[in-house]
Amino acid sequence: MRRLAGLRRALPAALVALALLAGWEAWVRIEAVPTYVLPAPSVIARTLWQDRAVLAAAWLVTMRITLMALLAAAALGTLIAVGLAQSRLLARAFYPYLVALQVTPIVAIAPLIIIWVDSLWAALLICAWIVAFFPIVANTTLGLASADAGLKDLFRLYGASRWQTLMHLQAPTALPYFLAGLRISTGLALIGAVVAEFVAGTGGSASGLAYRILEAGYRLQIPRLFAALLLLSLTGIALHGLMTALSRRLLRRWHSSVVASEH
């Protein structure tokens, strides 16, 4: 029943995608649009298969940066959020600078990071982390502060330490907020990795999908460009789906947002 329900939810989006692809294919063929202007979906799919070795190697580089940045954002973002939630003084002192770091375009500061950091891979990782960490910090901080005030008083009445209150009351309350921030940060980590690769513009065997897109554009290999874009889009969708599944797995037995959606 769950599988049927999942297929039923995915069916409308799949039908829309099929209709758009069919219309795209038909329009390109009827209007005889040149491949270097707009390739047909069939040409893009064929290019994706033919260039799978090059694109797969580039995809692995981009995925490595994305996943490492996401893990760093989750770990450091959670630690920062706990510190901000435990001390109002820390929150007032540092939160404005975290906001400033988040709203500053990564394109503007990525060249400086690449210059200052000796390792190019580390520089790309830092750029992706800067883009990805703030939703986890903001959401987790809000979740930790959202614990029921009456329950906090009860914990205090029974002599619970700050650590016990954090682990047994605030952390479970903040878990849905953290997972929501993690879903947002997943896409942002991928975007940050791609933008950093664009700014770095490095080639060779260790280049990611962003460089392959630039290279294809310079050489007017538009089908490969679209194939790389398709690969990035599918990766983002897959990562978001994995984070959504993880959230459902962790919350489905007790949190109302998941329990209500499954009935």
Q: What pLDDT digit, counting tens, does each position of 229-255 carry?
A: 999 999 999 999 999 889 888 887 766
DSSP character at residue 259: H
Please name the helix (run of DSSP H) or strand (run of DSSP E) that holds residue 167, with its range, or none: none
- What span, in angstroms and rounded, lies between the C-alpha atoms of 78 and 80? 5
| Domains of the chain with bracketed CATH | 59-261 (1.10.3720.10)
Q: What is the mean pLDDT of the chain?
A: 87
Summarize the confidence of residues 25-37 as an average pLDDT: 90
Residue 73: predicted pLDDT: 95
Summarize the confidence of residues 95-106 as an average pLDDT: 88
Residue 260: predicted pLDDT: 47
Please name the residue that has the structure tokens 């069939």: 42
Residue 105: predicted pLDDT: 87
Reported for 78-83, long-range contacts at CB under 8 A and 24+ positions apart, including other chains, are 78/136, 78/140, 78/178, 80/133, 80/137, 81/136, 81/137, 81/140, 81/141, 81/144, 81/174, 81/178, 82/140, 82/144, 82/166
Summarize the confidence of residues 189-208 as an average pLDDT: 79
130-134, 143-147, 225-229, 250-254, range with the lowest pLDDT: 250-254
pLDDT > 80? residue 201 = no
| Confidence grade of residue 196 (pLDDT, cut at 50, 70, 90) | confident
Our CA dihedral for 160, 164, 170, 176, rounded to 10 degrees, sits at -150
pLDDT > 50? residue 211 = yes
How many percent of the chain have pLDDT more than 90? 46
- What span, in angstroms and rounded, lies between the C-alpha atoms of 154 and 236? 43
Residue 3: predicted pLDDT: 65
pLDDT > 70? residue 256 = no
